[in-house]
Structure 1
Amino acid sequence: MTSTVRIGALLPTREMAILNDFSIAPLLDFARRAEKLGYDSLWTGDSLVARTRLDPFVVLSAAAAVTERITLGTGALTASLRHPLLGANMVTSLDHASGGDRLVLGLGAGFPMPESEDEFTSVGVPFAGRVGRLDETVRYWKTAWSARTEGAPTVHKGTIWQTEGLDRLAAPATAGGPPLWLAGSDTPRVLARAARLYDGWLPFLPTDTAYAAAWSAIQEQAAAHGRPEGAVTPGLYATVNINPDAAKAKAQLEEYLQGYYGRSLEIMSTFQAYGWGSADDCAEWLAGYIRAGARHIVVRIGSLDPGDQLDQLAEAVLPAVRALV
């Protein structure tokens, strides 16, 4: 496993949508700024109507055009909302738009909330069975992206889809296609799937203790499957709000979550990772996850106006966290 700690920032596509702003220019300014400030990666979420925002493929293509080195990722792409053939072509196109070897796809099966179920229904996809659908999508994509390799299969024969001639699809710029990470929790099924099938794990676990136990289990199971050390990247999706006054930081985070999910911090913090307070407080909180094994942290700034905190994170939190390893 790499000893390097990478830190990414989440593009505020959902935050802008909450404010009824769907313009692209502020997102591109954010992308340029994140790269200039030294962030390692830039991420965006995905939702059609459950938590409305701009399309991640379009946003990341635009971000790729105004940046040079920063990794681009989805956190997370609800892949099952799109037919896997269409999805494979969209991913390949984005891989080329970003120049190759810059794209990471965090994939989610769908957030377990009523609005997510409504979203699946709206595009005619069953919400039940969504986990198996996601895993089959991953196998479908991997077949498609390796189909031009001599001797590799060109047909996907799955439970849901059967497709021939996958070698006719455009080949990705990245050999074998971009890394595919599983965005999920620490249930036994999630850990087993991450260890067996995925290139990374992107959880939002509320404590570093839970993270350490889950990551240990993934490593053991990946080794049992014969996967080499480092085959699974340990990520983390964490939300922070920086303010020297911890009470004000917590209040702003509370307001943010009510706008984002319509739910309280008390509820959301039972299953998602939230940190608040001074820059030192946030750095120490993230440090616990680094010690637990996390090596690529995706930071969502818990504010509807994240610009200033992007700078504070870069100036105070990023160096402190990176210095741990």
Structure 2
Amino acid sequence: MKFAVSYSTAHLGTDPDRIVDYAQHAEACGFEGLYLPEHLVLHPGAQLHGFEVPPTLPFLDPLDTLAYVAAATDRLLLGTGVLLLPYRHPVVLAKQLATIDVLSKGRMRLLTVGLGAVPAEAAATGVDFRTRGRRADEAIDILRLLWSGDENGVSFHGEFFAFDHLVQFPKPYRDTTLPIHIGGSSAPAARRAGQRGDGYFAGGALLPDQRAAQWELARTTAADAGREPDRLEYTRWSGFDMTDERLAAFTAQGVDRVVMSAGSADPEEQRDELSQFAERFLGADR
């Protein structure tokens, strides 16, 4: 089992020294990686995960922040949970992600993309909210196409994007692609993970039988598409109040990675959460 942490600026703040301290301590404790969320805009009355939130809730750009974190760490993998893929142009995004991967020497390995659930974000970026799933599918294909292309260029003609003979360098640090995990809590998200993803990062508040059905849907969809279901990684959320019983349940469900979300807003308590969890589950004595 692998363990990563999330840093939500909406909960933990946007102070750069605090972000670096959290990331460095997570690395020292032995956590695999650091995830950041994304929201482009909010508005009065906006809801996230079913709850109304203040429109002043701060969200740093996750890719810029991860690049900043990469410069201050050595081993920590970099992740998003989730990047709002339909609202980013895939040609620009391919360049951004490859750049971060090169400059971090291959650590942009936990990219997770999703569709977004705030219609105002779609409207603000000129995207029809109803088409965001199809846009995301094209974007995933374009990212991989650009990363794998050679000096002769690649072409794409889809519903939303089209180009001919594009050449984009540099490539990712070690490979001709980067892992792309699919985040979500719906049947379409699970199917997208099976059809196009390297993993499924399950979110939402679902009953255990619903959760199991979605993971099985991702795996069966992968098999139907001629892909290997066992190569899909399964990621789940948890709090730092993890118990041995919950960890055993995750293991029985086939979970590969657990992303821990902070329970305290106090910097010292946050460090203690990381240290105590590492001592219990990572074999660290911090």
TM-score for both structures, normalised by structure 1? 0.75
Indicate conservation of the 8 Å contact 1:148/1:171, yes or no: no
Aligned position for 2:263: 302
Q: Which residue of 2 aligns with 1:87?
A: 93
Give distance in 2, aligned partners of 1:54 and 1:220.
Answer: 36
Structure 1: 5+ residue stretches without partners: 243-278
Q: Is the 8 A contact 2:237 2:261 kept in 1?
A: yes
> Partner residue of 1:154?
154
1:263 corresponds in structure 2 to none
Report the Cα offset of residue 121 of structure 1.
1.5
Please list every run of 5 or more consecutive structure 2 residues that lacks an aligned counterpart in the other structure. 43-56
CA 236–166 in structure 1, closer or farther in 2 if over 3 Å, else same: farther
Instruction: Give the Cα–Cα distance (whole angstroms) in 2 for the partners of residues 122 and 47 of structure 1.
Output: 12
Instruction: Look up the match of 1:52.
Output: 58
Residues 78, 107 of structure 2: 8 Å contact kept: no
Instruction: Please show how residues 186-225 of structure 1 align to structure 2 within 5 Å.
Output: 186-187=186-187, 189-206=188-205, 207-225=207-225
Give the partner amino acid of 1:296. Answer: R
Match of 1:273 in 2: none
| Alpha-carbon displacement from aligned partner over 1:13-59 (angstroms, at most 9, x marks no partner) | 22145xxxx32111011000000011111111111223531111111
Q: What is the one-letter code of the residue matched to 1:83?
A: H
Specify which of 34, 41, 53 is matched with residue 42 of structure 1.
Answer: 34
Report the equivalent of 2:52.
Answer: none
Q: Which residue of 2 aligns with 1:118?
A: 120
Answer whether contact 1:9 1:42 (CA < 8 A) is retained: yes
CA shift for structure 1 position 202: 0.4
Instruction: Indicate the residue corresponding to 1:64 in structure 2.
Output: 70
The 8 Å contact of residues 205 and 211 in structure 1, kept in 2 or not, is answered as no
1:66 and 1:32, CA in 2 relative to 1: closer, same or farther beyond 3 A?
A: same
Q: 1:208 to 1:144 in 2, by over 3 A?
A: same
SS in 1 for 2:129: coil
2-structure distance, mates of 1:125, 1:311: 42
Supply the RMSD in Å over aligned alpha carbons.
Answer: 2.4
- In the TM superposition, what is the alpha-carbon distance from 1:209 to its structure 2 partner? 3.7
Return the match for 2:18 from 10, 26, 33: 26
> Whole-Å Cα distance in 2 between the matches of residues 173 and 68 of structure 1?
15
The total of aligned residue pairs comes to 268
Sequence identity percentage: 26
Hey, what does 1:234 align to over in structure 2? 234
Deviation track 1:82-101 (CA, whole Å, cap 9, x = no partner) reads 21111111111111121115
Q: Alpha carbons of 1:286 and 1:209: their partners in 2 closer, same or farther (altered >3 Å)? A: farther
Give the aligned partner of residue 82 of structure 2: 76
